[in-house]
Amino acid sequence: MRADQVTDPLCYHGEGPVWAESWGGLRWVDMLAGDVLSLGADGGVTRRSVDPKVCAVVRPRVGGGAVFAVERGFALEDPDGTLHRLPPLWDDAAGLRMNEGGCDPDGRFYAGSMAYAKTPGAASLHRLSPAPKGGAGEVDVALEGVTTSNGLAWSPDGSLAYYDDTPTRQVAVFDYSREEGLTNRRVLVDVLDGEGKPDGLCVDAEGGIWVAVISHGRIHRYTPEGVLDEVVEVPVQKTTACTFGGDDLGTLYITTSWENMERGEDPLAGALFAVRPGVTGLPTLPFAG
């Protein structure tokens, strides 16, 4: 299959696409610009600045609005668009920023970090719990010793979580429960083809895992057993993430980047792409706060 171009090359580093009916469709981020983009029904795109440096990942809240991972922690958006930044988790001296993540079936929001210098093992996967009466509660560390924390998504029954630490060139799988969180880490896919590395990922209604293979211009679909059974070709080298959307959740949206490249070196880089792969996705898991 081959993906079709949806927008102009609007992003330097497009990432984190998410579809939610509560906010009217698709949102994604121009990560290093700190902006959230929204795709209108007419194909138009609007842009909102959320953080001066980095906006990493965004998910809907059950009562409306959204939760964000920004450069050094988390922020909550009210239904009216008002933004509340939570206390930072580290200071500038740490040399870290948030990257990718997602929500678990119990409404907790995860965001993983990475070092600007890409220092091996310097990052963590952080988990924001909802407060008992709504809003944000405690933050804890769900996983340590990470280098570039990336895609995170759950199986249709919620019992498994799939995860990418990009430099490993592996897709990992965990067992998941509310009480124990992420346990029993093991390898689902070991060493992607060629020079490709796993970036963002999502899961379809049949349990297939769709992985953006950055620097490879592809999206791979793996079965729950780790077998590659579908490839989507994208006419851009750096494919960063993917998600299912549309009224029937049957469209796979794909973000791209021209980070660390000369402008025009990859002419369509930074555009949004889409394909109808013949399967449907899962509704986006929301933050319960």
Q: What span, in angstroms and rounded, lies between the C-alpha atoms of 202 and 32?
A: 22
Catalytic status, residue 30: no
Enter the pTM of the model: 0.96
Output helix, strand, coil percentages for the chain, rounded to the nearest 5.
5, 55, 40
The model's pLDDT over 1-37, given as tens digits with 9 standing for 90+, comes to 999 999 999 999 999 999 999 888 999 999 999 999 9
Mention every residue, 6+ apart, whose C-beta is less than 8 A from residue 3. Answer: 219, 232, 233, 234, 235, 252, 254, 273, 274, 275
Kind and range of the H or E element at 95? none
Indicate if the pLDDT at residue 103 is higher than 80: yes
Q: Cα dist. 14→181, 253, 256 in Å?
A: 29, 12, 5
Residue 56 pLDDT > 80, yes or no? no
- Selected catalytic residue, list 199, 229, 248, 266: 199
The domains located in the chain, with CATH, are 4-275 (2.120.10.30)
Contact present, 88 and 74 (Cβ < 8 Å): no
Of the pLDDT bands very low, low, confident and very high (cuts 50, 70, 90), residue 195 is: low
Amino acid at 144: E
The 10s digit of each residue's pLDDT in 106-161 is 999 999 999 999 999 999 999 999 998 888 899 999 999 999 999 999 999 999 99
| DSSP per-residue string spanning 57-83 | EEEEBTTSSEEEEETTEEEEE-TTS-E
